[in-house]
Amino acid sequence: VDAEPRLRREINANVANGARMYDYMLGGKDNFAADRELADRLIAAQPGALASVRANRAFLKRAVRYVTEAGIRQFIDIGSGLPTMENTHEIAQRAAPDARVVYVDNDPTVIVHGRAMLADIGPTAVADADVRRPEAILRHSEVRRLIDFDRPVAFLLLGILHYVTDQEDPYRIVARFREAMAPGSYLVVTHYTGDDNPHEVDGSIKMVRKSPASTVPVARTRDQIERFFDHLEILDPGIVPVHQWRSDRPYSLDQRFYLWAGVGRAGVGRSTASS
């Protein structure tokens, strides 16, 4: 059975949705009035939000370039979002045309648009799966087709772990991905935080909770985010505001931020302990 009609039926234009709000904030066209309305309110409540989503994409570019230059040729980009200007496969395959990328998302709009964009594009695929079921991602046929877990892989978890509640245990999920990482693999994370602006972030979360939105983010502290990197070597400059990670542009240390960013590497001979 063709999955496309089923996915299209699942798209609900009346409920604001994280992937489409994010697309709108990045200047994309794959969004509806409900998404734009809530995103505009979010931007009004959190004036740095637009700069933050752009900084997140700029970080994706720097981090993917970095790990590709370090020799990585396989990427699993989980919570990949709607295709936008520069996507992981474009960044990686520019440096290494043989780089393989599997995009994973559970949003029907993302899957439909992702598949349309990737039709006929080399070693790249889209998997319809939920980060809260890491085992299903690791066993997914598209992941198995393109990813060899005996070789290093980069797991990208940008802007997604804050959609996993404490009850759903994001540490268990990331530990499962870490177990699948061959030595020399990378974990790349950005995560929503109120560390810099607790009142603003608290207000935004309350606003989203009261709106007809599909998902409400969970802000976490730097220490909580650092725990995702247990058993990994955290690369310099550490867990830092997203715009500061190996940035080639000057930035102000006073700049507001809503996302922590970090990159960890699985060492050779590390134990595969889960946390």
The residue ranges that bind ligand SAM (CB under 6 A) are 18-19, 22, 56-57, 60, 79-81, 105-107, 110, 130-132, 158-160, 163, 215
Measured between alpha carbons, how far is 251 from 231 in angstroms, rounded to an integer? 31
Specify whether the CB–CB gap between 166 and 221 falls below 8 A. Answer: no
- In the chain, the amino acid numbered 28 is G
Between 59 and 229, name the residue whose CB sits nearer to ligand SAM. 59
Q: Identify any residues that bridge with 264 across adjacent strands, giving them in sequence order.
A: 187, 234
Least distance from ligand SAM to the Cβ atom of residue 150, Å: 25
Least distance from ligand SAM to the Cβ atom of residue 171, Å: 15
Least distance from ligand SAM to the Cβ atom of residue 19, Å: 3
CA-to-CA separations, 163 to 10, 132, 144, 223, in angstroms, rounded:
19, 10, 25, 18
Kindly give, in sequence order, each residue whose CB lies less than 8 Å from that of residue 157, ignoring residues fewer than 6 positions away: 78, 79, 131, 174, 177, 187, 188, 189, 190, 228
Whole-number CA gyration radius for the chain? 18
Q: Around 175, how many Cα atoms within 13 Å sit in the side-chain half-sphere?
A: 11
Q: 134-143 b/e with 16+ CB inside 10 Å = b?
A: beebbebebb
Least distance from ligand SAM to the Cβ atom of residue 59, Å: 8
Supply 174's token pair: 């990331």
Least distance from ligand SAM to the Cβ atom of residue 77, Å: 7
Q: Identify any residues that bridge with 105 across adjacent strands, giving them in sequence order.
A: 128
- Reference 115, options 123, 124, 106, 19; nearest CA is 124
Supply 55's token pair: 């900084």
Least distance from ligand SAM to the Cβ atom of residue 163, Å: 4
Between 55 and 99, name the residue whose CB sits nearer to ligand SAM. 55
Least distance from ligand SAM to the Cβ atom of residue 201, Å: 15
Between 204 and 231, name the residue whose CB sits nearer to ligand SAM. 204
